[in-house]
Amino acid sequence: MPSFLHGCRYFILPLFITVMALTFIQVTQASWQIWNEIIERLPYWLLSIAAAMALQFNRSRLAYLAVLILVFYVSKQSSSPLFTAPNSHIDELFIGGAMVITWFAFIKDRGLFSSHGIVRTLGIIICLGLGFIWLAAIDHFQADIIAKSPVNISYQALILVPIILCFALVFFRAIWRANLVNTSILTTLGIWLFYYFRPDYLPLSILLSSLAVIYLFTILIDSYFLAYRDELTGLASRRALYNLVLSLGRKYSVAMLDIDHFKKFNDTYGHDVGDQVLRLVAAKMAQVSGGGKVFRYGGEEFTIVFPRKDAEAVLDDLEDVRESIEDYRIVLREDKRQKNSNTQAKAKRSKSKTAKKKTVSVTISIGVAERLGGENFDQAMKRADQALYRAKKKGRNQICI
């Protein structure tokens, strides 16, 4: 389960913005009616661009959804019998569509032009088919169900059953795995169902164009994070550091931080525990005071840049970081293989849970340097690196200028 902040960023905020934007568009309807002709064409362009971008950035689920929605829009706009025929099965189409969207919430992004592509196409056909089967079953057993049900159950309520189920599944998935793609898929289902229940609230062209814009934003923001965030620790990456350098003034300090004896630590506890420790140490560093900006430079090395500060001024902030890491007792997570062992072992473990909880700790060494007149960032960083080397030489777990 993601943290509250993570959930706000990837789930609550995007949904809130979407609802506010659609409400705003609805309220200001009168002012954009004159653009209707252009607005009706927007979904063709935006959905095609979203599909192409999603494909380019390996977001195949969004690519599929964009194409399916585009086909749906074409069918709604077209007068050809090929497209108007499904419109007489609107309930089936909406239930099937809801199932397709739900299925996409649970599968992974995979190459479109591979065996996965065939499986996904088959899945779409099956989900759409299930919509038809469900309604045929309702038609067939309706009388029986209504007669045997202890509560008064209507035809509409029976249609709602799979829709509510789909929505609940996608909703909880989006909370559990809070990321922009899952939130986009939830929004797709929300808009899909909203159009089914309230088709007159907003034109379809507006709803689908909004979806395309949401997909484009998702791809854009995801790509930004991919380029500028370190995946393991969630800190800004080295590329982001060099981006910051472009906007640094003349006065700043740079600190290089390195976990002590991390090779030994990895060798003793394994690489997975090493990763876990890297994440926790990074989280402690991210709390640095004094306006420091933290980056994962690479491996077990981190960089903190303090704009507009000299080295003396940041010593206390860095000392706080060093101490907080030294004092931090890291509780090791259970090994997955251990978790799967038999129930007897589990019972034994739970009995001595608190007693046997394994904790480890690490220390860091820090080298810090302020920019001297005429120096560029690399030169200042090199001196911070030399200071770090001195801190290691002097016995580690300390700061050197």
Ligand X SMILES: Nc1nc2c(ncn2[C@@H]2O[C@H](COP(=O)(O)OP(=O)(O)OP(=O)(O)O)[C@@H](O)[C@H]2O)c(=O)[nH]1
Looking at the annotation, which residues are catalytic? 300
DSSP 86: G
Q: Using alpha carbons, select from 235, 232, 398 the residue that is nearest to residue 325.
A: 398
The contact pattern for ligand X, residues 188-227, with x = CB under 6 A and - = no contact, is ----------------------------------------
Q: Using alpha carbons, select from 185, 197, 208, 200 the residue that is nearest to residue 74.
A: 208
Q: Using alpha carbons, select from 287, 344, 342 the residue that is nearest to residue 317.
A: 287
b vs e for 16-29, b when ≥16 Cβ sit within 10 Å of the residue's Cβ? eebeeebeebeeee
- 282 lies in the binding site for ligand X (CB under 6 A): no
How big is the site for ligand X, counted in residues (CB under 6 A)? 17
Q: State in angstroms the smallest separation of the CB of 103 from ligand X.
A: 34
Q: State in angstroms the smallest separation of the CB of 20 from ligand X.
A: 40
Q: Where are the alpha helices (DSSP H) in 33-89?
A: 36-56, 60-77, 81-84
What is d(CA 294, CA 319) in angstroms, rounded to the nearest whole number? 15
Q: Which of residues 290-319 bind ligand X (CB under 6 A)?
A: 299-300
139, 231, 275, 334: which one binds ligand X (CB under 6 A): 275
Tokens of 119: 């499986």
Q: State in angstroms the smallest separation of the CB of 265 from ligand X.
A: 7
- 162 lies in the binding site for ligand X (CB under 6 A): no
Which residue number, 173 or 261, has a Cβ lying nearer to ligand X? 261
Q: Which of residues 342-401 bind ligand X (CB under 6 A)?
A: 392, 396
What is d(CA 384, CA 28) in angstroms, rounded to the nearest whole number? 56
Which residue number, 190 or 274, has a Cβ lying nearer to ligand X? 274
Which residue number, 64 or 262, has a Cβ lying nearer to ligand X? 262
Query: Is 378 strand, coil or helix?
Result: helix
Which residue number, 263 or 339, has a Cβ lying nearer to ligand X? 263
14, 162, 190, 274: which one binds ligand X (CB under 6 A): 274
Which residue number, 174 or 256, has a Cβ lying nearer to ligand X? 256
Contact stretch for ligand X (CB under 6 A) within 135-143, 151-159, 269-277, 350-358: 269-277
Rg (CA), the chain: 28
Residue 378 · residue 395 · CB < 8 Å: no
The contact pattern for ligand X, residues 242-261, with x = CB under 6 A and - = no contact, is ----------------xxxx
Angle subtended at Cα 345 by Cα 342 and Cα 346, rounded to the nearest 5 degrees: 85
Contact stretch for ligand X (CB under 6 A) within 45-53, 148-156, 240-248, 262-270: 262-270
Which residue number, 194 or 389, has a Cβ lying nearer to ligand X? 389
- 230 lies in the binding site for ligand X (CB under 6 A): no
Rounded to the nearest angstrom, the gap between the alpha carbon of residue 242 and the centroid of all alpha carbons in its chain is 24
What is d(CA 363, CA 264) in angstroms, rounded to the nearest whole number? 13
What is d(CA 368, CA 386) in angstroms, rounded to the nearest whole number? 9
Which residue number, 93 or 241, has a Cβ lying nearer to ligand X? 241
Residue 302 · residue 294 · CB < 8 Å: yes
Q: State in angstroms the smallest separation of the CB of 371 from ligand X.
A: 25
148, 271, 329, 356: which one binds ligand X (CB under 6 A): 271
Q: State in angstroms the smallest separation of the CB of 233 from ligand X.
A: 9
Tell me the residue number closest to ligand X, measured at CB. Answer: 274
What is d(CA 361, CA 357) in angstroms, rounded to the nearest whole number? 13
What is d(CA 65, CA 378) in angstroms, rounded to the nearest whole number? 46
Query: Is 304 strand, coil or helix?
Result: strand
Q: State in angstroms the smallest separation of the CB of 315 from ligand X.
A: 21
Q: State in angstroms the smallest separation of the CB of 264 from ligand X.
A: 6
Q: State in angstroms the smallest separation of the CB of 269 from ligand X.
A: 9
Question: Quick one: residue 357, left, alpha or beta (phi over 0 = left, psi -120 to 50 = alpha)?
Answer: beta
Contact stretch for ligand X (CB under 6 A) within 147-155, 200-208, 263-271, 331-339: 263-271
**Dihedral sign, Cα of residue 186, residue 192, residue 198, residue 203:** positive
- 278 lies in the binding site for ligand X (CB under 6 A): yes
Residues that bind ligand X (CB under 6 A): 232, 258-264, 266, 271, 274-275, 278, 299-300, 392, 396
